[in-house]
Amino acid sequence: MNSQQKISKLDDLIFDNRFIRELPADAETINNRRQVIGACYSRVLPTPVASPQRVAYSREVAELLDLTTDVCESDDFIRVFAGNRLAAGMEPYSTCYGGHQFGNWA
């Protein structure tokens, strides 16, 4: 980003949702543990948490995203990054887990 214009509210961030635009989605809308075949992701919503708090944020990353200090120190920042609210344009998804675990491919 690094434009001259700083972002003064999270709903002004622009999200590139290319992953979900260009790859096949899970047709099942009920989210539970199961094998998903023929899809790269499942649509999900974050699980809200009670009384979220900001512990820290990276000023360097905020600068890369052109976020003002006021945005990063706002209650809205806490709600969005805790998963209690989606910012405009967010389209959350979950991908399959794959990797070695305890000496086995999972």
pLDDT one-digit tens code per residue, 64-104: 999 999 999 999 999 999 999 999 999 999 997 777 788 87
Q: How far apart are CA 82 and CA 16, in angstroms?
A: 20
Per domain, the residue ranges of the chain are: 10-105
pTM score, whole prediction: 0.80
Beta strands in the chain (DSSP E): 42-43, 93-94, 100-101, 104-105
Instruction: Give me the amino acid identity at 57.
Output: Y
Q: How far apart are CA 83 and CA 77, in angstroms?
A: 10
Q: How far apart are CA 35 and CA 96, in angstroms?
A: 9
Contacts for 22-29: CB closer than 8 Å, 24+ residues apart: 25/93
Q: How far apart are CA 57 and CA 98, in angstroms?
A: 29
pLDDT one-digit tens code per residue, 18-59: 999 999 999 998 888 888 889 999 999 999 999 999 999 999
Q: How far apart are CA 26 and CA 4, in angstroms?
A: 40
